[in-house]
Amino acid sequence: MATAATDTNLIPDAVAAAKSADVVIYVGGLNHNGGYDTEGSDRRDLKLPGGQDELLEKIAQANPKTAVVFMGGGAVEMGSWLSRISALLYAWYPGLEGGNALARVLFGDVSPSGKLPCTFPKRLADSPAHALNAYPGTNGAVTYTEGLLVGYRWFDTRKIEPLFPFGYGLSYTKFEYSKLKLTPDENPGKPGVTVEFQITNAGDREGAEAAQIYVQEVKPSVPRPLKELKGFTKVSLKPGESKKVSARLDEAAFAFYDPDKKGWVAEKGDFRILVGGSSQDIALRGDYRLAETVLERD
């Protein structure tokens, strides 16, 4: 992988090879060496090490049919080359069988179906600890100031556009969401709602979709994130196939911790149920009303 300092004298050779190739597959990103991506220490920034941005800029310019495969354990910033390449596959650290798995995806034997478990910001300064000037703190102490706005909750609530949102992921096929139905529980003492919807594989390839269910309180009495993930399910579909998905949300899906009451509170009021393929790709919306306030003590 290209994680050591790049020998710029070799860039012309890489560009020449890219120009003469039908397709370029670039494998790079991060590794565990040199403090790039290790436990017990922080990365200084989200930039790609080893001059990879410069290398990718020139390769993508030489051959737009470039697929980039990144190894790594978290978000990285990406340069203007991102808009010039044909595909980006984030492989994380796939282990000993990673080569076989990547080959199956790259050659189309299997359709990718992973979704991002974190938000990729456009720049480090957009992340909460850095936007609030909390990190690296003073004298080894950092004040935790983002509160509940961790990860996608920060970006959604503050309306900051990320590079890639939480839950994002593409496929070789296309999925359509429809027929949202919300069925409230009949027991008001233990409120909840069953969320049903349909997913259709509208493409010509078999694939799997990880559908996500978010909950938004319309008028909360305390500051809360814009929406929160409360359920998800993965469905495998053949071309043209449709499946009904069902998930139940109990009172915990609508609750927040109230330190004054020393317990979790699900407030009486209106909520929105949001369903889609990522935290920012919401396909279906429905309204649910919690009829009574529910308090659960620790």
pLDDT at 137 over 90: no
Give the pLDDT confidence of 62-85 residue by residue, as tens digits.
999 999 999 999 999 998 999 999
**Bridge pairing between strands 192-201 and 175-184:** antiparallel
Cβ of 287: how many Cβ atoms within 10 Å? 10
Spatial separation of the C-alpha atoms in residues 296 and 199, rounded to whole Å: 35
pLDDT at 134: 87
**Bridge pairing between strands 228-237 and 207-217:** antiparallel
pLDDT at 188 over 70: no
Q: Tell me, yes or no, if the pTM score tops 0.75.
A: yes
Which of the four CATH numbers 2.10.109.10, 3.40.50.720, 3.40.50.700, 2.60.40.10 does domain 175-297 have? 2.60.40.10
Cβ of 133: how many Cβ atoms within 10 Å? 11
The pLDDT of 247-270, averaged and rounded, is: 92
pLDDT at 256: 94
**Bridge pairing between strands 269-278 and 87-92:** unpaired
Across 22-31, 133-142, 165-174, 260-269, least confident range: 133-142
Q: Where in the chain is the domain with CATH 3.40.50.1700?
A: 8-106
pLDDT at 110: 96
Quick one: tokens of 49? 């090490």
Identify the CATH number of the domain defined by range 8-106: 3.40.50.1700
Residue 183 DSSP one-character state: E
pLDDT at 2 over 50: no
Q: Where in the chain is the domain with CATH 2.60.40.10?
A: 175-297
Kindly give, in sequence order, each residue whose CB lies less than 8 Å from that of residue 90, ignoring residues fewer than 6 positions away: 29, 70, 72, 116
Give the angle subtended at the CA of 251 by the CAs of 195 and 186, to the nearest 5°. Answer: 65
pLDDT at 3 over 60: no
pLDDT-derived band at 88, boundaries 50, 70, 90? very high
| Higher pLDDT among residues 36 and 34, named by residue | 36
Residue type at 252 in one-letter notation? A
Closest CA to 257 of 210, 205, 222: 222
Could you give the maximum distance between any two Cα atoms of the chain, in Å? 72
The pLDDT of 180-200, averaged and rounded, is: 90
pLDDT at 7 over 80: no
Give the pLDDT confidence of 89-108 residue by residue, as tens digits.
999 999 999 999 999 999 99
pLDDT at 12 over 60: yes
Query: Does residue 129 sit in helix, strand or coil?
Result: helix
pLDDT at 298 over 70: no
**Bridge pairing between strands 242-250 and 192-201:** antiparallel
Helices marked H in 77-202? 98-106, 128-131, 152-157
The pLDDT of 249-272, averaged and rounded, is: 93
Average pLDDT in the chain:
92
Q: Where do we find the tokens 């998930």?
A: 247
The pLDDT of 31-49, averaged and rounded, is: 82
Query: Does residue 198 sit in helix, strand or coil?
Result: strand
pLDDT at 93: 94
